[in-house]
Structure 1
Amino acid sequence: MFDWLHDAVEAFVDSPWLLLVVFAVLVGGAFLPGLPGATTLLAAIAAVADDPARVAAVAGSALAGAIIGDAVGHRIGRRWGTRVLAARWLRRTRRPVLRARNAMRAHPMVVLVGGRFLPAGRLAGVLAAGISLVPLARMLRITVPVAIGWTGWMTFLGVLGGRLAGEHALAGPAAAWIISSIITTVVVCGTAVIARRRHLVARSAGSGSGVGIAAGRS
């Protein structure tokens, strides 16, 4: 019933358009909200998982798009600053960008590294770096190695999903996306639990020291 869809997907995967789409989505993901960079890369890698040369080509396109997109997003944030946030197309990401800008002053590496692996985090981090006037060279010293690691990780998950799904052109991307979603959820939830516990420990320690000081004064 869906043979036409299967054939269309295979024809697209075998064409140069696949590399162009991956590159364009990864570039735009740094400053255009809603572009599914991770999903696009996972699907593309899973679709060509049986061809190492194609896997390398897709990964290379994604990495180039990620680095160029970061530079463009930084330029947009630096040149137009907070005026960009007033645009309608950035309305939903305004608060994350402002939070990232505030955190950027004290923890630029945390914002840029963590943002790469969170939904819309890359856009918020890159624009915030530009708005905060973080030098482009300094930002790229952080984002380029992270982009390499992120691309390698997405490539691994995409190949794994493609191999698990077999030869079906649509099942591979779906399997890769499911694996990635599960791992991301586990990591994010685990990080949130650890951060919450550390906050509670620090809070209780602060309360204890305050009680001790009060007792000493009495």
Structure 2
Amino acid sequence: MDAVLQLAETLLASPWLYLLVIVLTLVDGVLPVVPAETVVLTTAAYAVTGQPDALPLLAAAWLGAVAGDVTAHHIGRGAGPLARWARRRRAIGSLLGWAEKELMARGGMLIISARFIPGGRTATTVASGVIGYPRRRFVLFAAIAAAAWALYYVGIGMLGGLAFRDQPLIGVALGIGMALAVGGTIEAVRALRRRRRRGADVSRPRPAERVACPVPARGA
């Protein structure tokens, strides 16, 4: 991670930075171990000085995020045996099961909100391909989600840079802290809603079973 951040800082005044952001956000859509969010936050904090330019940075983050989500979706469509293997793994299987259930119920809202949860994002996009979620609809929601994600991270990074213009690293740290706080809040709200739904399902009365009535014998 440190090496990637150092590379991004050396490219702040170079057009190659935007290509780096595209590649990182694309790969992050498939492998969430890549520090794409941190790189976008860091470069956005420096964007208040004019290097890099905020608009191309925003476009690069959006393009890479869309490409990464679409790639993960198509991986899910062609997963086959890999998907069956993943289902047998406790952690991955539970994420896939959760994502499939939510996709069938909420679809677009899940794709948009999951974009801000690294593990949930990849599970959702791959699961959307596994269950055959309509491709055009997925691309539309993925584009909306990527735009919200890019605006959010570039915006937070620039706010941190403006607040600590003379000490951009403090601005980067502030941006990362705000992003983690919002992401944690989203996940906590989702967990609370899932718990309430489970409680409602448990307390919901079951329909009464029919009791078979004896048929009177003929001639009685």
Alignment check: 8 A CA contact 1:73 1:123 kept: yes
Alignment check: 8 A CA contact 2:113 2:145 kept: no
Give a deviation string over 1:125-156, Cα, whole Å, max 9, x none: 11111111112211012111121122112221
SS at match of 1:28: helix
The aligned counterpart of 1:106 is 105
Q: Kindly tell me: are residues 22 and 176 of structure 1, through their superposed partners in 2, closer, same or farther at Cα, counting changes over 3 Å?
A: same
1:35 is aligned to 2:34? yes
**Percent identity for Structure 1 against Structure 2:** 25
What letter matches 1:60 in structure 2? A
Alignment check: 8 A CA contact 1:13 1:44 kept: yes
Q: Kindly tell me: are residues 202 and 93 of structure 1, through their superposed partners in 2, closer, same or farther at Cα, counting changes over 3 Å?
A: closer
Moved more, 94-103 or 29-38: 94-103
- Cα separation, 1, equivalents of 2:43 and 2:20: 9
The CA RMSD measured in Å over matched residues stands at: 3.2
- Cα separation, 1, equivalents of 2:136 and 2:54: 29
Which runs of structure 2 are paired with 1:139-158 in the superposition (5 Å)?
A: 139-158=138-157
The aligned counterpart of 2:158 is 159
Kindly state the Cα deviation for residue 106 of structure 1 after the two structures are TM-superposed: 3.2
The aligned counterpart of 2:172 is 173
SS at match of 1:14: coil
Higher helix share: 1
The aligned counterpart of 1:127 is 126
Unpaired segments ≥5 residues, structure 1: 1-6
SS at match of 1:120: helix
Which runs of structure 2 are paired with 1:178-197 in the superposition (5 Å)?
A: 178-197=177-196
Kindly state the Cα deviation for residue 77 of structure 1 after the two structures are TM-superposed: 1.3
- Cα separation, 1, equivalents of 2:133 and 2:7: 44
Alignment check: 8 A CA contact 1:9 1:169 kept: no
Q: Kindly tell me: are residues 187 and 67 of structure 1, through their superposed partners in 2, closer, same or farther at Cα, counting changes over 3 Å?
A: closer
Q: Kindly tell me: are residues 52 and 145 of structure 1, through their superposed partners in 2, closer, same or farther at Cα, counting changes over 3 Å?
A: farther
The aligned counterpart of 1:71 is 70
Q: Please list every run of at least 4 consecutive aligned residues from structure 1 whose deviation after the TM superposition is greater than 3 angstroms.
A: 7-11, 84-87, 90-95, 190-204
- Cα separation, 1, equivalents of 2:84 and 2:166: 44
Which runs of structure 2 are paired with 1:1-16 in the superposition (5 Å)?
A: 10-16=9-15
Q: Kindly tell me: are residues 202 and 56 of structure 1, through their superposed partners in 2, closer, same or farther at Cα, counting changes over 3 Å?
A: same
Q: Kindly tell me: are residues 189 and 105 of structure 1, through their superposed partners in 2, closer, same or farther at Cα, counting changes over 3 Å?
A: closer
What letter matches 1:146 in structure 2? A
The aligned counterpart of 2:45 is 46
Kindly state the Cα deviation for residue 193 of structure 1 after the two structures are TM-superposed: 3.6
TM-score by length of 1: 0.77
**Rg comparison, structure with higher value:** 2
Which runs of structure 2 are paired with 1:52-91 in the superposition (5 Å)?
A: 54-83=53-82, 86=85
Number of residue-to-residue matches in the alignment = 203
The aligned counterpart of 1:3 is none
- Cα separation, 2, equivalents of 1:91 and 1:198: 22
The aligned counterpart of 1:4 is none
Alignment check: 8 A CA contact 2:45 2:160 kept: yes
Alignment check: 8 A CA contact 2:8 2:20 kept: no
